[in-house]
Amino acid sequence: MRRTAALRALIRETDVRPDDLIAPLFVKESIEEPVPISSMPGQVQHTLESLRKEAVEIAERGVRGFIIFAVPARKDAEGSEAWNPDGIAQQAIRALRGEFGDEAVVIGDLCLDEYTDHGHCGVLNERNEVDNDATLERYRRIAVAQAEAGVHLVGPSGMMDGQVAAIRDALDDTGWQDVGILAYAAKFASALYGPFREAAEGAPRFGDRTGYQEDPANLEEALREIRTDIAEGADVVMVKPALPYLDVIRRAKDETGFPMAAYHVSGEYAMVKAAAANGWLDERRVVLELLTSIRRAGADLILTYHAKDAADWLRG
């Protein structure tokens, strides 16, 4: 059954389609031209106009989901630009929703690290630790601001306890019952987010995120986080990063049967790009193999910076 391509196609168990992919896009306030991200070759910080153009080009290839990360010009201790109705994130959401209507899924990453001057995912208490419950109050405001701007889904990525319940409650309270939640449920404290922190300008100024993101050693804890987010009202649960955590995806899919997303993160992308640039790996074959593996492990959808190229390759 392996002898010819036609035989192999008959018994292939897993496929990757462009509409399984979600493209993460960065937008930055107050820039005139797109700014390349050196650790993520091929990715840029967009202007509003280049963001719109790039999303259209990606959508033409059959990718129908976008998640927006925004870098504001002004940061403060609270991250207040995150819920400014005219802030850069809301402008970008409005631009994409205006462009696509319901033809694509517009997702807002919901966190504070791009917006706070200290770079943590929440507000701090007097001991300079992230204050979980005070942060939830800010997340509620961001959810409503993103809903008003037109998101189909919000993607809370800060790993605060109770964040899904708080956001669900805020959306329901304000008439946004139909806005769904793509929950970063099992987000590990990974070294593979390094390039993203250049792209989103959200590296913590002190300390790290091990106080709120998960220990890479813990599978059972990840499953508890996933079950908790489902119970709190998540519509899709996500594991992040993807490749080092395929076991988490598989167990969660088997045990919950819930829609699962995987975030194939910036460091995973950078490794492939660096090897390909050196001629050490065949980029196209590697990317398609990796994406297939993430799907095989049980992910229904994949957030990936390879989305545009992969969609081209998948269409032949």
- Provide the mask over 111-130, with x wherever binding to ligand PBG is found by CB under 6 A and - wherever it is not: x-x-------x---------
Peptide bond into 72 cis (omega under 30): no
CB of 67 to ligand PBG, least distance (A): 9
- Spot the catalytic one: 28, 53, 75, 240: 240
Is 146 an interacting residue with respect to ligand PBG (CB under 6 A)? Answer: no
The answer to whether the Cα torsion of 136, 142, 148, 149 is positive or negative is negative
Active site includes 273? no
CB of 109 to ligand PBG, least distance (A): 6
How buried is 128 (Cβ within 10 angstroms: 0-12 exposed, 13-18 middle, 19+ buried)?
exposed
Is 147 an interacting residue with respect to ligand PBG (CB under 6 A)? Answer: no
Buried-state track 280-305, b at ≥16 Cβ within 10 A, e below 16: ebebeebbbebbeebbebbbebbbbb
CB of 221 to ligand PBG, least distance (A): 17
How distant, in Å, are the alpha carbons of 50, 51, 100 from that of 33?
8, 11, 23
Active site includes 53? no
From candidates 142, 249, 265, 294, binder to ligand PBG by CB under 6 A? 265
CB of 111 to ligand PBG, least distance (A): 3
Which of 172/271 has CB closer to ligand PBG?
271
Is 196 an interacting residue with respect to ligand PBG (CB under 6 A)? Answer: yes
54-62, 80-88, 189-197, 249-257 -> range binding ligand PBG (CB under 6 A): 189-197
CB of 80 to ligand PBG, least distance (A): 16
From candidates 20, 29, 78, 109, binder to ligand PBG by CB under 6 A? 109
Name every residue whose Cβ is closer than 8 Å to that of residue 250 and which is 6 or more positions away in sequence.
297, 298
From candidates 66, 193, 212, 245, binder to ligand PBG by CB under 6 A? 193
Contacts 24+ apart (CB under 8 A), 193-196: 193/241, 193/265, 193/266, 193/267, 194/39, 194/266, 194/267, 194/270, 195/37, 195/39, 195/40, 195/266, 195/267, 195/269, 195/270, 196/40, 196/265, 196/266, 196/267
Is 266 an interacting residue with respect to ligand PBG (CB under 6 A)? Answer: yes
Is 157 an interacting residue with respect to ligand PBG (CB under 6 A)? Answer: yes
CB of 47 to ligand PBG, least distance (A): 21
Is 23 an interacting residue with respect to ligand PBG (CB under 6 A)? Answer: no
What DSSP letter does each residue of 258-282 carry, written as one string? --EEEEE-HHHHHHHHHHHHTTSS-
99-107, 192-200, 215-223, 275-283 -> range binding ligand PBG (CB under 6 A): 192-200
Is 45 an interacting residue with respect to ligand PBG (CB under 6 A)? Answer: no
Q: Cα torsion for 164, 165, 168, 170, to the nearest 10°?
A: -110
Is 188 an interacting residue with respect to ligand PBG (CB under 6 A)? Answer: no
Is 163 an interacting residue with respect to ligand PBG (CB under 6 A)? Answer: no
Residue with tokens 């979980």: 132
**d(Cα 68, Cα 58) in Å, to the nearest integer?**
14
State the catalytic residues. Answer: 187, 240
Q: Which chain residues interact with ligand PBG by CB under 6 A? A: 109, 111, 113, 121, 157, 193, 196-197, 209, 265-266
